Amino acid sequence: PPELDANSTEISNYELITDTEQRLIKRGYPNKKGRKKNVRKLNKKPAHKYQKYGKQLTTNLTLARPRCAELNRLCILLER
C-alpha cells in the first residue's frame, strides 16, 4: 500500500494522512487533554458559537451566494 513520505513537506495524497488530529493541534486548533496521558484531542464542543453566524448566513443566503463562489458551489451540490 502507498505510504506518506515523512521527509516530504508537500502532501500529494491526503487519504494517506493518519495523524490528522495531531497535525491540526500543532497548527493551533483548540484542544483538550485526552484520556491517555500526553495525548491531546481536538476540542469539538464550541461548535455552538457559530450558530448565530449560521442563522445570519441562511437569512442572507441569496445575497451571499453571488459574492462567494465556494458557497454557491456548496449550495448547488446540496440542491442535487
Q: How far apart are CA 64 and CA 20, in angstroms?
A: 31
DSSP 8-state assignment for residue 79: H
Q: Which amino acid is at 47?
A: A
CA distances from 52 to 29, 44, 63 (A): 21, 17, 17
Helix H or strand E segment including 40: strand 40-42
pLDDT at 66: 93
List the chain domain ranges.
16-46, 48-79
* Comparison of pLDDT for 42 and 77, the residue scoring more: 77
Handedness of CA 12, 17, 22, 28 (dihedral sign): positive
pLDDT at 69: 92
**Model confidence over 22-74: pLDDT tens digits?**
888 888 888 888 888 788 888 877 667 777 878 888 898 999 899 999 999 99
pLDDT at 3: 61
